Structure 1
């Protein structure tokens, strides 16, 4: 989490035990969704009019990339309980369900990866046949062909030319793609 969770108590004194339970629940949410950026928890105790006892409300505001999760703790909500531990449990369960919905709706995040760039020197070139071989500093010889050379670099490539390329695995071994002259 990017920021320290904020836990606020209203209408009751701070409780180390309740805060410990809340922090455990936050840790569990972070294991479920590891991109939570902030979490605010408000624990409120109110007195019911005309009845003995108190009601506890636990509200959560959780920020994640692309959205947020809000579990309301307003009086009259279903999240009102006479037992603080039950109120905490139910609010965090509701938050986890909302996080699941958020993940499902937003879909997986795909980050396009670019192949690692390698460099080497042309050690054999067969211009009439349209292919050649590049030797890497590590001693690996890699096949390349005219179609793998970018722009008009094929016309400029010569024996001992310095090139950079991406490495692919083929049926007959590694081969170079996106071959270009080194600047």
Structure 2
């Protein structure tokens, strides 16, 4: 994100649990779209004792190139009385996620045609690995981050992955952004993997994690 997210609280105190939830949800939006320009979240307590609905209102404003402005707001006036703040935050981020997914799906085909070669689309390196939880993230040669699950790693090779392992992969659009559907190890840092006929992947000189 070009500008750090801005989170404002009105008429209520910020708690660590709420702040952690908001940042977790922001991170998931960035997995859907890794070129968000700015993000502003306003969390407000508008009633102390509403007759119906929640006393809270949550609004999210995003900007993404080339000039798109997205907004999602939840102010549940009906339904469950005193709906907790966590539920209102989740509903607001779900609404924003749906908007962001639709717009990135429309943009992605043309962007890939202009920004990727066929080899770049299918080549990446492991940059994050959560072995105990069974998932990780890849980064393509042009900087796109791709989620993958251990089930997508071919030949049961998930345990052989390390940070920096080079892979070939195929991807698909998931509910929360692009994710690898198949991952095949090409080489590991300093170690030749696979048949001798396979070509080792070399990152460009300016590539960084």
TM class by shorter-chain length?
0.5 to 0.7
Structure 1 residue aligned with 2:69: 68
Instruction: Name the structure with the higher helix share.
Output: 2
The 3 A distance-change label for structure 1 pair 104 and 81 is farther
Distance in 1, matches of 2:18 and 2:36, equals 21
Structure 2 residue aligned with 1:21: 21
Distance in 2, matches of 1:39 and 1:52, equals 30
Q: 111, 130, 134: which one pairs with 2:114?
A: 111
Shift of 1:72: 2.1
> For the Cα contact (< 8 Å) 2:45–2:56, is it kept in 1?
yes
Structure 1 residue aligned with 2:2: 2
Does 1:43 find its partner at 2:46? no
Residue by residue, what CA displacement relative to the aligned partner does 1:97-135 show, whole Å, maximum 9, x if unpaired?
A: 000111233352132679xxxxxxxxxxxxxxxxxxxxx
Larger radius of gyration: 1
Count of residues paired in the alignment: 113
Distance in 2, matches of 1:22 and 1:112, equals 31
Shift of 1:24: 0.7
> For the Cα contact (< 8 Å) 2:47–2:56, is it kept in 1?
no
Distance in 1, matches of 2:50 and 2:102, equals 39
- Structure 1 unaligned residues grouped into runs of 5+: 115-183
**Correspondence 1:84-103 to 2 at 5 A:** 84-103=85-104
> For the Cα contact (< 8 Å) 2:39–2:62, is it kept in 1?
yes
RMSD: 3.0
Distance in 2, matches of 1:5 and 1:100, equals 19
TM-score with structure 1 setting the length: 0.53
Shift of 1:16: 2.2
> For the Cα contact (< 8 Å) 1:57–1:75, is it kept in 2?
yes
Distance in 1, matches of 2:37 and 2:58, equals 20
- Structure 2 unaligned residues grouped into runs of 5+: 118-209
Distance in 2, matches of 1:70 and 1:52, equals 24
